[in-house]
Amino acid sequence: MRRLLRLLLGLCLTVTLLVLAAAGGVALLRWRGLILEPEQRDPQEWEVFGVDVSTYQGTIDWPVLARQGVDFAFIKATEGSSLRDERFAANWAGAQEAGVRPGAYHFFSYDSPGETQAENFIAAVPVTEGALPPVVDIEFYGDYLQQPADAEHTRSILDPLLEALEEHYGVKPILYCTYRSYQLYLDNGAYDDYPLWISSPTMAPLLHDWDFWQYSHTAHLEGYDGHQDKIDLNVFRGSREDFLAFGLPDGEE
């Protein structure tokens, strides 16, 4: 009986120590800003804070967003080879007027050539001094949610798209991905030179060399009136000085 009691006491002590260690680890991650709440706007642990928007946010009052600490905004411009976001031009101009650094993103399609997708984006997004590099958003939609396209097919579209955007804008595009799309398509060393914007709700992607972290899909800010009342939140990995220099073509530094 005594032996069993000692075993039970030892087990309880072990569990208690593990719980305390886990709690300490979570506290450390929170202190470092590596765990953020979904509604946590302009987190103090990070110097540079931003959003990403599309037509779903409707008409945006950019000065109102800026007053909430928004430093940058990734703005949807195009999708595939023909679709364009109807609010892009207004958002692009409004962000700049409010002092919010803009970046345009393209929703990648598995169903049309990379060359024509690049043409669609280039026709919609002007070369703009001080803007963030163009973004290619690689995620899943429709049937690809259950049956993702194979890597060879995806890269045969992605590579000419990236090449055309880099040639036109003079900078390497940013790659936006989820953990799943990164592992399927980007985790082969061929894309290590591209800046990475990764979606990882609440906890930072500790095993990836990222530049932007999308930490929330469910936040609420003031300043937009679309039927989608939520907005995505992001931080930049670096100082404000790093951010101002990030992604500038040669000659703009």
Predicted pLDDT of residue 3: 54
User: pTM of the entire structure?
Assistant: 0.89
Relative orientation angle of helices 114-124 and 151-169, to the nearest 10 degrees: 30
Residues 228 and 222: their CA atoms lie apart, in Å, by 12
Predicted pLDDT of residue 249: 84
Residues 192 and 187: their CA atoms lie apart, in Å, by 8
Question: Chunked in runs of 10, what are the mean pLDDT values of the chain (253 residues)?
Answer: 49 37 52 85 96 98 98 98 98 98 98 98 98 98 97 98 98 97 96 97 89 97 96 98 92 59
Predicted pLDDT of residue 53: 98
Predicted pLDDT of residue 59: 98
Residues 62 and 10: their CA atoms lie apart, in Å, by 59
Which of 239, 231, 245, 208 has the alpha carbon at shortest distance from 65?
Answer: 231
